[in-house]
Structure formats: structure tokens, C-alpha cells
Chain A
Amino acid sequence: QVQFLQSGAEVKRPGASVKVSCKASGYTFTNYFVQWVRQAPGQGLEWMGVINPTDGTTNYAQKFQGRVTLTTDTTTTTAYLELTSLRFDDTAVFYCTRLPIRGVTDPFDYWGQGTLVTVSS
């Protein structure tokens, strides 16, 4: 069965960086984009960016341009989200999810359990 296992909660200082991992299993990793979605406390879902594991091409939401880097390791079927220059308002739960490479209008059918990143001094 399709599963995403994300890394554990993190506490970071303002200005620091965080790297969240998302281990995928149960499907052909290179047939699906990996998407990342942010949810601040009490807020809605916010799309951050997408990566094609086949060639590493990315597309980032303008809001996060310059601070976010998405990568994948096809040998371990793991996706990574790195966010730099953390601010207090980056405190959020980060989710990974997938989308068929041949179906960008398709839904996000499986999600990771989420990783809470707390930015605190």
C-alpha cells in the first residue's frame, strides 16, 4: 500500500534552517511528482512546491522562492524539503503528498502524516 513516512517534529531558532524528509513506499517513485503543503496553526492548506523525481525539476510557490529547496533521492525513494531563514510565522505542519506525472489535474491521493516545525527563540 502507498505510504509516506515523514521525519519527526523539529524546534528551530529564527534564522535557522530545517530539512524535512518524506520516505515513500508502495508505488513507483518516479511516476509521481512529490508536492509539499504547509499548514500554519489554525490555518488552511498552502501549496509550497513540487518536484519531479525523474529529473529533479521543481516549481515553487512565489511566496517561498529563494527560501525553499525540494530534492529527492530515487535510490531511497525519499523526498526532502529544506526551508531556510526561518521566521516565527514559519511555525507549521508540513505535509508531503503525490501527484501523477501524467495527470496534473488529478488529486493528491495519499499524504504523509505531517511534520511539525516550531520556530521559537
Chain B
Amino acid sequence: SYMLTQPPSVSVAPGQTANIACGGKNIGTKSVHWYQQRPGQAPVLVVYDDSDRPSGIPDRFSGSNSGDTATLTIGRVEAGDEADYYCQLWESESDHPFVFGTGTKVTVL
């Protein structure tokens, strides 16, 4: 089945930029979505279709996708951005079509 690999953790100082990678074979040909999950809460969609933002999500959150890597970028990081982040996509040729990445813990220093 298709696999998505993320770094376990990313640390960033307030005001700086965090980049979270999501690796998968030819992921650039697929639509990737990103979810934020704060401790004890349900996931929240922050970026969809590689780079679009749902209403209410700050423009500090952006995304890109090319080749074998999709990336979520959080600009001007704030303490409230500390959370787990997961990438996700639909893989049509898999018996496990809805795939989540392994997750990345973002720590704000």
C-alpha cells in the first residue's frame, strides 16, 4: 500500500518559518491535504489540494507539492501553532485508498 513519510518532529522559534515535509512516490501527481491536531482535540484541515486554505485558516499556512515531496509551510510561527501535523491523500490504486502521513510534532521553542 502507498506510504507517506513525515519527519517525527520539527522545532522552530517564534516568528520563524516551519517547513514540514511529506514524502511519497510521485506525490506531486496527487492532491495532498494537511491537518493540524492540537493535544486532546480532533484534527482540523489547514491546507487542501496542495496549497488552498479553508476559510478561517491564516495565510501563514501554505503548501506546495512536487516530485516526491509535499510541504506544509507555517510562516511567522506562533505558540498556538504547536501541534501535530498530518498529510493525507487518496490513492486510487491501493486497497487502502485514504492514506495519512506518519505525523510531525511541531514544537515552538
Size band of the A side of the interface?
20 to 34
In the bound assembly, the distance between CA atoms of A16 and B55 in angstroms comes to 42
Provide the residues of chain A in CB contact with B90, threshold 8 Å.
104-105
Q: How far does the alpha carbon of A111 sit from the alpha carbon of B37 in the complex, in Å?
A: 11
Interface stretch of the complex, out of A7-15, A24-32, A40-48, A72-80 = A40-48
Given A95-B42, A108-B45, A111-B42, A44–B103 Cβ distance below 8 Å?
A: yes
User: SS class of chain A's interface: helix, strand, loop or mixed?
Assistant: loop
A107 CA to B43 CA in the complex, in Å? Answer: 12
Q: Which listed segment binds A: B11-19, B20-28, B72-80, B93-101?
A: B93-101
User: Interface residues of B, CB < 8 Å — how many?
Assistant: 26
Q: How far is the CB of A87 from chain B (nearest CB, A)?
A: 20
20 sample A-B contacts, Cβ–Cβ < 8 Å, listed by A number: A37-B100, A44-B84, A44-B86, A44-B102, A44-B103, A45-B43, A45-B88, A45-B103, A47-B98, A47-B100, A62-B96, A104-B90, A104-B97, A105-B31, A106-B31, A106-B48, A108-B33, A108-B35, A111-B44, A113-B42
